[in-house]
Chains A and B, each alone.
Chain A
Amino acid sequence: AVQKAIIRVIPLKVEPIVLEGEFANVAEVTPAEGKLLQSHPLSLCNTSEDEHTESGFITIVKLEQPDRDPNPCLSLANKAKLAGERGARAILFDITDDESAADQLRKPRGLSQPVVLIRGHDAELLMGVVNKNREAHVKIEVKEPPAWPDYDVWI
């Protein structure tokens, strides 16, 4: 079963929004919190060691359609791993344009930073925050399954 994630996005100057995503099995299912930073897909390559970003951030990567990046420098699992090594506390992948990403990130790899997939309207809202704000804070929570509904059992 897919473990849902609650993503609370708190921009600096505007109202917070609450989005939903799903944890990818490639990593641990665990909460995380930090400053939101967008990463270009090509920034997560071994040839791009240029960004000296302080650690403790949560990165969002907007994935493009697969045919637009025919020879990716790393697999998505290794991009997530690299982001964690560079200080990311969690990695959000916007997979609206690349649903195959969900399959690529299904195989458990035990990455310690959670990987969360987001798509569609939720992803559009999140990228809208990135485009229109200078800074935002993000809290990722594990969405609890609904409590067992109370049935009136008559014997």
Chain B
Amino acid sequence: VHPNVSQGCQGGCATCSDYNGCLSCKPRLFFVLERTGMKQIGVCLSSCPSGYYGTRYPDINKCAKCKADCDTCFTRNFCTKCKSGFYLYSGKCLEKCPDGLEANNHTMECTSIVH
């Protein structure tokens, strides 16, 4: 076996190497890129970590980061919790609520105005 190829792969890797970590995952697991300092390795998880969303492709299941203004999301374009300073409205993160809606500073969402 090539010296750089890990004897035993970590966690859910199907294939891996010393320098890159996981190269592919076992079925149904998600591939995530993890950076520590200069290093970037692949890891395989059963679900995507907070701040990431999962996408299943034919050859790989991948986690990718939510948008910069979003803390947690279903997909890249559907946020479920915005970063501080933003209000959530229809899966989007807004600095100001649209006309006709009011900013709820408790839930950090735009809600209908109650008369």
Contact = CB atoms under 8 A, between A and B. Distances in A.
Are A and B genuine complex partners?
A: yes
A135 B64 CA distance: 24
A133 B38 contact: yes
B12 interface: no
Size bracket of the B interface: 20 to 34
Given A47-B57, A48-B64, A64 B38 contact: no
Interface stretch (A25-33, A37-45, A78-86, A142-150): A37-45
Size bracket of the A interface: 20 to 34
Contact of B59 (A41, A51, A71): A71
Contacts of A39: 40
B59 A64 contact: no
Contacts of A96: 4
Contacts of A49: 64
A135 B38 contact: yes
A42 B39 contact: no
A65 B40 contact: no
B55 interface: yes
Interface string A40-66: 111100011111100000000010110
Interface stretch (B13-21, B81-89, B94-102): B13-21
A17 to B, nearest CB: 15
Interface string B51-79: 01001010110111100100000000000
Interface string B23-40: 100000001010101111
A10 to B, nearest CB: 13
B7 to A, nearest CB: 15
A121 interface: no
Contact of B41 (A40, A68, A97): A40
Contacts of A50: 33, 52, 63-65
Interface of B: 2, 4, 15, 17, 19-21, 23, 31, 33, 35, 37-42, 52, 55, 57, 59-60, 62-65, 68
